[in-house]
Each structure stands twice: as structure tokens, then as C-alpha cells.
Amino acid sequence: MKALKNTWYMAGWVHELENENPLGRKIIDIPIVIYRGDDGELAALFDRCPHRFAPLSKGRIKGNNLQCGYHGLTFNCEGSCVDNPEGGHPPKSAYLNSFPIVEKDNIIWIWMGEKEKFDVSLIPDYSIHNDKSLSFLYGHSFVKSNYELITDNLLDLSHTRYIHPGFGGENYEYDHTIEVQEQEIYSKYYVDSSPNSEIGEAMFPTKGQAVDEYNDMRWNLPASLQLEVWFTKPGDKKENGAVNWAAHILTPKTKHETHYFWASGVSKESPLDDKTHLNFLLQAFNEEDKPMIEACYERMSGNEFWDMKPVVLKVDSAAVRARRTLNNAIAHEERSDNS
Ligand code: FES
Ligand SMILES: [Fe+2]
């Protein structure tokens, strides 16, 4: 599939590796196996044994190595075959591609491009996950859509009025601004003195009084987003209100399917309990956003977005900017590959 390669993709949450089994995950159409060796280091390898093509993710971790679950060829963290238990030296052709992998802010990041170009300073900031005053819920689901359609959804929150009654619904009357800082885009929605939404009331109860609401969505290449939400009394300072931080990180599985990694954190003092919090998230995403995005993608019938000449509205400014930034980065990478 056409995708940016020299970039960081989220491969999973760090806690997904806690059960000591290798983790198989397809990213931009490439099968990857991730495991943690006895030395505590993460490794990421191409998830297909060069012998009979078994997924290594069905194998087992042995020390710092990974053993194929079919006939036992064993590979080190760099992908070299270091043991053939059936006898004889492993042939030189028995190797797997390896990928740079980093864990940061409870996220496993993988670099799918040229190894010599990997740069940890390009990992987007999710250090809020380390804030001990907050309590986070984490999840992973799949969307049957190209990832850019989901980016559009997250940067254009005007849809709240139509499909998210619990997040304000018809009261979601906003001022929208966008800010661009190099390759980082902010899409900011401000709702001035409006009836509190259901989730607002659960996080910042006002018993019928109006609130101001700030929804600041940040976008980083290729599709890593973070939403910062504040509820305050009208005109009051943010620090007197209630905050919600939400990661929305999209990793293309294939051209037609996307890993959607999400996290949502509120103050440990928040009246919002975990069960209610989770219900709000699942209702909004699984029942409201996801079916609409999948239905839109189905209607696109495999055609390219711009080829379909979509109507562009004022509120699409951040989404269009993100699409252009990503397309330019992909085109630049393709030009460098061909030169
Ligand atoms: S398929 Fe892996 S060792 Fe045979
Ligand atoms: Fe939504």
C-alpha cells in the first residue's frame, strides 16, 4: 500500500506484551512480530519464517531469541538465524528483516522505513500518559476503513452535533481555529457557555449550569492524534475546570483496515468512574463514529479520495491540511527513493 515509511507507527501498548508471548501485528501491509527478550529489550522482526513461511508470532521466546513454532529455526533480535535444532549450520539465507522499535509513554513505536534514518526525536509527545495524577483507560480496535478517513473524523469535530448526543449533540456550537507548527497541526474547537453535555456532567457536574468547553486536537505525521478537553465554568480559568486527555493513534493495517489505538485519562479525583468512562468511549466510537466511517469508506468503493472530488467545507481546513502534509511527505519519500 502507499504509505509513509520513514516515520513512527504505533505498534501497540506496552502492556500488550506482558503475557510473555510474541505479538503479531500487520502494519502498512507488512506482518511484524514483536517480542521482549530476557534482557528486557524489545525486538521487531518480519513475521514470516524463511523456511516454510510460518508466522514467527506463533513461535516462542527463548532467552533473547525467537524460535519458530514449526521446525524450530531460531532467530536473534537482529533477525539472524542462530540455531537449527534439526542439525547443520543455518544457511545464510535464513534471516529476517528487523525494524527499529522504541517504547515510550506506554506506547510501542516502530520505524518501517530505512533503518539508518530512524530518529527518536520524531516520536510525537504522549508524555501525559506518565502523569501520576491522571487515571487512563487504554484500548485497541479495528476499523474497516482507510486511516485517512478516520483522521478526517478526528480533526473535524463538527460531526459531534449530528452523531454524538452524549458529547453535546445539537448544543455543540463551536468556534473553530487551526494552528500549524511545522508538521504539527492543531484543530481547536471552543464551545462558549453552553448546556453541559452528558460526559461533561459526569466529569464536571454543574447541575444545569452552562459550561465553556475546549477541544484541542493535535495531529502528527502520519496519523497520531491527541485530544485535550477542558470543561470550565463560563469565563473561568482552565485550572479550575476538569480535563480529559485522549490519545487517538491510527496505524494502517492494510489500505482498507486500520488499527485504532485509544487512551483516555481523567484526574484520579474525577467523579467519572472507570465503568462509566469506558461506556462513554465505547458508545461514541464503536456505536457512533466507527459505523459512520465504515459506511463512508464502503461508499467510496475503493476509489481514491481526491479522485472523487469531495466537497470541501470551511470546517475541513485542518483535515485537508493533514492530508496534504501526509501526501507531500509520501511524495517526497518516493522522489528520494527514485533518485
Ligand atoms: S517454517 Fe519455520 S522452521 Fe520451518
Ligand atoms: Fe466522533
Of the candidates 102, 35, 38, 40, the residue with the CA atom closest to the CA atom of residue 69: 35
56: left (phi over 0), alpha (psi -120 to 50) or beta: alpha
User: Ligand 2 centroid to 318 CA: how many Å?
Assistant: 15
In this structure, the chain runs to a length of 339
User: Ligand 1 centroid to 18 CA: how many Å?
Assistant: 25
| pTM confidence score | 0.97
Peptide bond between residue 165 and the one before it cis (omega within 30 degrees of 0): no
CA distance 111 to 27: 10
Pair 167, 211 in one domain: yes
Ligand 1 atom with the smallest distance to the CA of 52 is 1
- Domain end marker among 101, 122, 143: 122
Residues with CB under 6 A from ligand 1: 49, 51-52, 54, 68, 70-73
Ligand 1 atom with the smallest distance to the CA of 68 is 2
CA distances 223 to 90, 287, 306, 319, Å, are 40, 22, 18, 11
Residue 73: inside a domain: yes
The residues, any chain, with a CB within 8 Å of residue 205's CB and separated by 6 or more, are: 196, 271
Residue 231: Cβ within 10 Å count = 24
- Per-residue pLDDT at 19: 78
Pair 216, 277 in one domain: yes
Q: Which three cell numbers stand for residue 103?
A: 517504547
- Domain end marker among 122, 150, 181: 122
CATH code (residue 197)? 3.90.380.10
Pair 194, 326 in one domain: yes
Residue 337: inside a domain: no
Residue 286: inside a domain: yes
CA distances 200 to 126, 153, 196, 251, 326, Å, are 23, 21, 6, 29, 33
Q: From the CA of 165, which ligand is nearest?
A: 2
Pair 135, 272 in one domain: yes
Q: Whose CA is nearest to atom 1 of ligand 1?
A: 52
Q: From the CA of 158, which ligand is nearest?
A: 2
User: Ligand 2 centroid to 286 CA: how many Å?
Assistant: 10
Residue 2: inside a domain: no
Residue 166: inside a domain: yes
Pair 96, 135 in one domain: no
User: Ligand 1 centroid to 69 CA: how many Å?
Assistant: 7
The residues, any chain, with a CB within 8 Å of residue 339's CB and separated by 6 or more, are: none
CA distance 297 to 276: 30
Ligand 1 atom with the smallest distance to the CA of 59 is 2
Count of domains observed in the chain: 2
User: Do residues 98 and 44 touch, judged by C-beta distance below 8 A?
Assistant: yes
Domain that residue 39 falls in: 8-122
- Indicate the residue type of 146: N
Residue 149: inside a domain: yes
Residue 336: inside a domain: no
pLDDT digits (tens, 9 = 90+) for 329-339: 999 999 988 77
pLDDT per residue of the chain (339 residues) written in tens, 0 to 9: 999 999 999 999 999 998 789 999 999 999 999 999 999 999 999 999 999 999 999 999 999 999 999 999 999 999 999 999 998 888 889 999 999 999 999 999 999 999 999 999 999 999 999 999 999 999 999 999 999 999 999 999 999 999 999 999 999 999 999 999 988 999 999 999 999 999 999 999 999 899 999 999 999 999 999 999 999 999 999 999 999 999 999 999 999 999 999 999 999 999 999 999 999 999 999 999 999 999 999 999 999 999 999 999 999 999 999 999 999 999 999 998 877
45, β-bridge pairs: 33, 98
Q: From the CA of 75, which ligand is nearest?
A: 1
CATH code (residue 102)? 2.102.10.10
Pair 301, 233 in one domain: yes
- Domain end marker among 83, 101, 122: 122
Q: Which three cell numbers stand for residue 327?
A: 501526501
The angle that helices 290-299 and 147-155 make with each other, rounded to 10 degrees, is 130
212 phi, psi to nearest 5 deg = -95, 145
pLDDT digits (tens, 9 = 90+) for 241-271: 999 999 999 999 999 999 999 999 999 999 9
Q: Whose CA is nearest to atom 3 of ligand 1?
A: 71
Pair 95, 184 in one domain: no
Pair 249, 139 in one domain: yes
User: Do residues 65 and 77 touch, judged by C-beta distance below 8 A?
Assistant: yes
Residue 207: inside a domain: yes
Ligand 1 atom with the smallest distance to the CA of 72 is 3
Pair 147, 284 in one domain: yes
Pair 307, 258 in one domain: yes
User: Ligand 2 centroid to 252 CA: how many Å?
Assistant: 19
Q: From the CA of 84, which ligand is nearest?
A: 1
Q: Please state whether beta strands 60-62 and 23-27 pair in parallel, antiparallel, or not at all (unpaired).
A: unpaired
Of the candidates 222, 262, 256, the residue with the CA atom closest to the CA atom of residue 111: 222
Pair 115, 136 in one domain: no
Pair 263, 288 in one domain: yes
pLDDT digits (tens, 9 = 90+) for 66-100: 999 999 999 999 999 999 999 888 888 999 999 99
User: Ligand 2 centroid to 21 CA: how many Å?
Assistant: 34
- Indicate the residue type of 66: L
